[in-house]
Structure formats: structure tokens, C-alpha cells
Amino acid sequence: MEAIITAFRGSPRVKSKNQMLIEAKGIDSKEKAEKLIGKTITWQTPGKKGKTIKGKISAVHGRNGVVRAIFETGMPGQSLGTKAKIE
């Protein structure tokens, strides 16, 4: 399933480096988003090396189908607005 990384999780002053907010394609309610909890998400870095960073969907964020994912390492700023895969 395709998803888009929309933002870092955090307050206006403090951001969590390894927690991201994710919008999944076709998910538009809290009930649908709850079914994604526990699934893994992968993001591939652009460039020649093409490393993958893995994470896990941990919770629902709000009522419109956005979920929160915790990645194993800190995510770069260039990941914002890019595609990720939910497996």
C-alpha cells in the first residue's frame, strides 16, 4: 500500500526525529486507520545507495486517517512529501 510522509511528529518547538505522520492512500477515517497499526513501513532513500529505513505504525493521529510511525533511525528532512510502502 502506498503512503506519503507528511510531517515530523512534535510540537512547534520540539520535533521527534524518528516519529513521522503518514497519510495512507485510500484511508480517510479513524476506523480504517486503526487496521494499519502494527504493520511495517519502509522508505527508500534517493540516490545511488538506495538504502531503506524501516519503521512500524504505532497509533492513529486524529480522525482523518493519518497514522503515526516510529522509524528505527532519525528521518532526514528530504523524506517529507515522498512515498513510502506499508506492508
Q: Identify the CATH number of the domain in which residue 61 sits.
A: 2.40.10.190
Structural domains in the chain (count): 1
Q: How far apart are CA 55 and CA 38, in angstroms?
A: 10
pLDDT in tens, 26-47: 999 999 999 999 999 999 999 8
- In this prediction, residue 28 carries a pLDDT of 94
Confidence of residue 19 (pLDDT cuts 50, 70, 90): very high
Mean pLDDT of 51-56: 96
**What's the rounded mean pLDDT across residues 69-81?**
95
How many CB atoms within 10 Å of residue 79? 18
List phi, psi (to 5°) of 29.
-145, 165
Which range of residues forms the domain containing residue 75? 2-86
Task: Give the pLDDT of residue 63.
Answer: 96
Please provide the average confidence, as pLDDT, over all residues in the chain. 95
- Neighbouring CB atoms inside 10 A of 2's CB total 11
Alpha-carbon gap, residue 19 to 34, rounded angstroms: 17
Q: What's the average model confidence in pLDDT over 57-79?
A: 96
